[in-house]
Structure 1
Amino acid sequence: MDTIDLWANPWPIDFGICQIPPPTKFSAQYLHKLASYAKSKGTLGWPYLRYDVWKRFATTRLHLNEEQIQMYFDAFLLLVSTKRSLPDRIQWYKQYASAKVKSERDGLLDQRLVPTQQFVLFLYVQQSTKVSLKSKLVAGDEWKQSSPPFGQDSKSSSEATEEMIHFRFVHDNLQEILQLLVEPDSVSDGSSALADQEIRMAGVEALEFLISGCSTDRSVKPLRELVSLQSQSSQCGYSKITQKFALLKLSNWIQSHLKPNPYGLSATRINSKVTERLFGQTEGASGKGRTASNRTIAPKKFRVTTFAAVRKLTVIQGEESLSDATVQVYRCRNAFLYLLAPLKHASIDNCRQVIIVLGAVEGVVSVTKCVQCTIIAICGNVHISDCSQCTFHVSCLARPILLARNEHLVLAPYHTHYPTLGEHVEKAGLTTTYNCWNNPIEFGLGTDEDTPPVYRLMPPSSFSPFVVPVTMDGPLKENPCPLPKEYRDAADKRDAIFKSWHKTVNDAHLDEDKKEKLQTFVEGQFQDWLTQTGNAMQLLT
């Protein structure tokens, strides 16, 4: 008899929820109507849903505006991209960037496709309220909570873990989720009683968006393979005659094997090495911080590395320790983190006075409850909520999403590079030819006309390149992101001033005494600048 363990995938809730009040018509009732509408459109809506079909339904039935319609579609695509589909994603965005007229761009938008049943599940997940437990994870006993190992009763684990949030959402809503996967033509004859409903194998494949699992050998397998095991198919309610699964039996089978994610944050802390001294920490640094990674035990898609309570440190980590991982940064203070790798997703929560340079992030960078931080990233998109006085130097494929309770944000062009960044951008399925950094979508602003703007674009006069303090081999020698003309001119002007200063000093033919006085004066001014800007801390760490 095979031993089966199932768990809820973390990314639909952690990075898929747009964190705005979902439309009331995202109920199961209306999502059934979306599935029926898509099926009625033939190959334009089933099994893959075209953007123009989604747009028509969302406009007329869900009453979404154009920004919301595209936002949900883009957010879903960032979640379900695979290594096989990334080249196509790059090609599509290059075509979209080169389109000269609106009609051409609209035509390219309308041709985009998403798997219909998985997209319906994604919209259903928007009803879930994301609960942030990250503040609890960096308290005094931040590394002590744990998920149970395989085979241990999940009830013995702490309720206060992210794994339990994901587990509870799927467990408590499973029957309704499965009903969304009953194809519309299966209930068209009025046989809609729960006991009579059945799900095709395509519906089980769609459920892989929310659920993963493994069998006796502990290797992660698609759900479709697990339900097809000879020892499990009858328990799942599979009928060889109809080639369908009885919904109630399938629901019972999933619930009996569902457990918290064995590769989640809590399991990471108990099953992998936690270090007081951060790998990549600069030598001689007197600060502190903690990190944990499941890299040695987790399959690639479940890799996660956490940085907690990093203070007064400069930390540099690269591809060998972070590639394809989801990075999570919590409660860091007065620190510099250079996480230079192709990443899956990144979350930054409750940080203050921190500069974080991310490599290339395939999906979403989520930033929450941060103050006076600078985030530098090339990514699929960035979601920002409850942040103050933060600056974002980003290049992103989708329009940045500014959620509730933000204030005094600054958006600016991407402004740095390191030698292997170009390779990381390609691995993450990104392109720098299309960039939405200066065109965010804003939510939760209220209706008061006197409310000050949530964000502003950085003035070109304040723009300057950022230097990543690493030495490594690689072909890239400059910022891969094209700068808008006004920012490029500002950077060229600064460079010209710097060269002019050097020429003036060289042409002055100063004697040794005057050179020493000039050096002392310049160093004094530089130290004053370091103190005033807070950059002195980076040199001290």
Structure 2
Amino acid sequence: MPHRRGGASEERKSPACVCLQIWSSRVSRVEGTLQGASPDLALWGQEPSTSQSSLCPFGGAPRSSSCHFHRLVLLRTTLHHYPYAKKPFHTDVHRDNMDQSGVLLWVKAEPFIVGALQTPPPSKFSLHYLRKISAYVRTRATEGAYPRLYWSTWRHIACGKLQLAKELAWLYFEVFDSLVVRTPEERLEWSEVISNCTSEDEVEKQRNQLSVDTLQFLLFLYTQQLNKVSLRTSLIGEEWPSPRNRCQSPHVTEKPTCHDKNWNDYSHQAFVCDHLSDLLELLLEPEQLTTTFHSTHSSLVSREAVVALSFLIEGTVSRATKVYPFHELALSQPLHAESGFSKISKTFSFYKLEAWLRAHLTGNPFGTSACLKSGKKLAWAHQVEGTTKRAKIACNTHVAPRMHRMVVMSQVYKQTLAKSSDTLVGAHVKIHRCNEAFIYLLSPLRSVTIEKCRNSTFVLGPVQTALHLHGCDNVKVIAVCHRLSISSTTGCVFHILTPTRPLIFSGNQTVTFAPFHTHYPMLEDHMARTGLATVPNYWDNPMVVCRESSDTSVFRLLPPCEFYVFIIPFEMEGDTTEIPGGLPSVYQKALAQREQKIQIWQKTVKEARLTKDQRKQFQVLVENKFYEWLINTGHRQQLDSLVLPAAGSKQAAG
């Protein structure tokens, strides 16, 4: 959660996770009244690790509390933590060689992957208005505006001066907080506080105690320009303002033609380089600017402003294996001459600092491009010859430090893939152009982006920050996540548990929301590690965020008569034996009524006193109808894909 008065944040640790292998067994898992056996997912052993960062689950209207809080907190506080076997990345910067020619700086990926919403920002987030906000907050330092910006002050600025709706103002405030390091206990505590509120006024009273770093928040608001649609750039072919800017029926082997700026590290670097002067000027004290809000040759940048830049930039030095926040490098004694820092004034020369930044900004060594180019190819527990040879799955977890882990999956076709291992823990995951696939990622994840997938099902472990879908058709997603957002989707179904309102951006058609309806043995353990609780849960209260329309007819809530629980067809160690938080009463009632019908039918058959031959004939008829149903619903393909291939084509999950 954002900083609370008198609160303090702690360093987070990441969990030990179980590596699984799928063993041979046909499963008769179906969605409906029929139950089936689950094939074993053999335990391969535990890998030592540390727990991951967590996210603050908060949302809109209050809902009832739950005893699950105490269970999650207990799980979290009784975990055993182990150190990484890798060398540490964060140590004392002054112990390393500070040869200025060896300094490498790059733009961090997470502020764009998680922080930049995949929708054009409000027009009032332009540089002109942000400069006015920057000057205004400094004049209101005693009123909760600077150096930390309280929710009540931001609400006043956003609603009173920028004319934004309060829900939109809270959205950006909360999204920024999802980038801030918090312990799982702090996140769970905030969820409990909000769940115990009985009115909107009580919720607002609790929010008024929250604050964020003012200068970093200004940078965050400016980064929303990443997805701004520009008619000028449209004329030269960079983009075109279409609500559904994607290929309607991409082939699984087709090369991608559209760029996802949130995951494109070249776009991140270009954005910062193109707007570096504006970003620096946004952080300047008012007296360092002209009347038109521009810098002068003698402008000085405060130490606090340089610390704020660490929100976007980090780096390292030659022959070092450590990653440092930007301000630690800029303030290092051997680099003062280059970075423009003065020990006397405790400030930086604006032009020296800008020149130093431009001279040393380079590509992100842990970004998507590096992952695709030199990342480690993953081996999965299921891999069938022929149908999955085209699949491309890579990760950088063997070289990347915590918070930089990345997994990219592309072109998985007609296959079931399942994984739960340390490779996935805390990773940013991108799933791209998958078709007729069933993918299970049963580990705590940092963020997930699913793009241009069709006719597929994704079952995810708890997602600490953002789960985003773009350009998908006929996709089902089952997940516990801090935030869900969707754009340009058609016919997709979302079974989710989320403490924030789902975000519906532009270009969506026939979206269905439904309650989270599955579990696996380590689910509550993973939720505790990520700070995600069972309440509040706003799966049924989406927020339409698009300029062209606020029409709520774009989505529906799944009718109870269409609801079935989902059985994850693997076994693993753990304590979770039921759906966390249970089901809403109307859906639980629908399941009970269906179960009652089954019992009545079974009783009718039993009382019919059929002969042995009649029972055999009746069994054949039922099985034929069952197989016919499997084929018509597409479940036959999923069951077939769960059969372990021949030993020669099997690879262990790694």
Regarding TM over 0.5, the answer is yes
Q: Report sequence identity in percent.
A: 33
- Residue 275 of structure 2 aligns to a residue whose secondary structure is helix
Task: Verify the 8 A CA contact 2:112 2:263 in the aligned structure 1.
Answer: no
Matched, 1:494 2:594: yes
Higher relative CO (Cα under 8 Å, sequence separation at least 6) belongs to: 2
The residue number in structure 2 matching 1:22 is 121
Within 1, Cα distance between the matches of 2:307 and 2:607?
Answer: 72
Matched, 1:221 2:221: no
Alignment of 1:69-108 (within 5 A): 69-78=169-178, 80-82=179-181, 84-108=182-206
Residue 318 (structure 1) shift:
0.7
Matched, 1:390 2:467: no
Task: Verify the 8 A CA contact 1:214 1:221 in the aligned structure 2.
Answer: yes
Task: Verify the 8 A CA contact 1:32 1:184 in the aligned structure 2.
Answer: no
Deviation larger for 175-184 or 112-121: 175-184
Deviation larger for 169-178 or 103-112: 103-112
Within 2, Cα distance between the matches of 1:383 and 1:428?
Answer: 19
The residue number in structure 2 matching 1:118 is 216
2:382 to 254, 260, 281: 281
The residue number in structure 2 matching 1:13 is 112
Q: Which amino acid aligns with 1:346?
A: V
2:561 to 446, 461, 466: 461
Task: Verify the 8 A CA contact 1:413 1:437 in the aligned structure 2.
Answer: yes
The residue number in structure 2 matching 1:242 is 345
Deviation string, structure 1 residues 365-384 (Cα, Å, up to 9, x no partner): 11000000001111111110
Residue 165 (structure 1) shift:
0.7
Deviation larger for 385-394 or 515-524: 515-524
Task: Verify the 8 A CA contact 2:478 2:495 in the aligned structure 1.
Answer: yes
Within 2, Cα distance between the matches of 1:160 and 1:438?
Answer: 27
Distance 1:447 1:315, change over 3 A: closer
The residue number in structure 1 matching 2:414 is 312
Deviation string, structure 1 residues 382-414 (Cα, Å, up to 9, x no partner): 110000000011111221111111001101111
- Residue 538 of structure 2 aligns to a residue whose secondary structure is coil
Task: Verify the 8 A CA contact 2:281 2:294 in the aligned structure 1.
Answer: no
The residue number in structure 2 matching 1:252 is 355
Matched, 1:514 2:614: yes
The residue number in structure 2 matching 1:201 is 303
Task: Verify the 8 A CA contact 2:131 2:293 in the aligned structure 1.
Answer: no
The residue number in structure 2 matching 1:416 is 518
Deviation string, structure 1 residues 475-518 (Cα, Å, up to 9, x no partner): 00011034222112122323334455455555666554333223
Distance 1:74 1:373, change over 3 A: same
Task: Verify the 8 A CA contact 1:319 1:342 in the aligned structure 2.
Answer: no
Deviation string, structure 1 residues 315-374 (Cα, Å, up to 9, x no partner): 001132210001100000000000111111100000000000111001111100000000
Q: Which amino acid aligns with 1:417?
A: H
Matched, 1:297 2:399: yes
Residue 465 (structure 1) shift:
0.9
Taking only aligned residues, the RMSD between alpha carbons, in angstroms, comes to 2.8
- Residue 380 of structure 2 aligns to a residue whose secondary structure is coil
Within 1, Cα distance between the matches of 2:562 and 2:104?
Answer: 54
Alignment of 1:448-487 (within 5 A): 453-487=553-587
Deviation string, structure 1 residues 277-314 (Cα, Å, up to 9, x no partner): x5132667844422001110111211111110000100
- Residue 527 of structure 2 aligns to a residue whose secondary structure is helix
Within 1, Cα distance between the matches of 2:262 and 2:191?
Answer: 40
Task: Verify the 8 A CA contact 1:416 1:479 in the aligned structure 2.
Answer: yes
1:49 to 127, 149, 153: 149
The residue number in structure 1 matching 2:103 is 4
Q: Which amino acid aligns with 1:105?
A: V
Within 1, Cα distance between the matches of 2:622 and 2:145?
Answer: 66
Q: Which amino acid aligns with 2:213?
A: P
The residue number in structure 2 matching 1:399 is 501
Distance 1:500 1:221, change over 3 A: farther
Deviation string, structure 1 residues 214-235 (Cα, Å, up to 9, x no partner): 1221311111211122221221
Q: Which amino acid aligns with 2:103?
A: I
List runs of 5+ in structure 1 lacking aligned partners.
143-158
The residue number in structure 1 matching 2:537 is 435
Q: Which amino acid aligns with 2:470?
A: T
Task: Verify the 8 A CA contact 1:236 1:250 in the aligned structure 2.
Answer: yes
Deviation larger for 493-502 or 116-125: 493-502
Within 2, Cα distance between the matches of 1:481 and 1:161?
Answer: 33
Residue 161 (structure 1) shift:
8.6
Distance 1:504 1:160, change over 3 A: closer
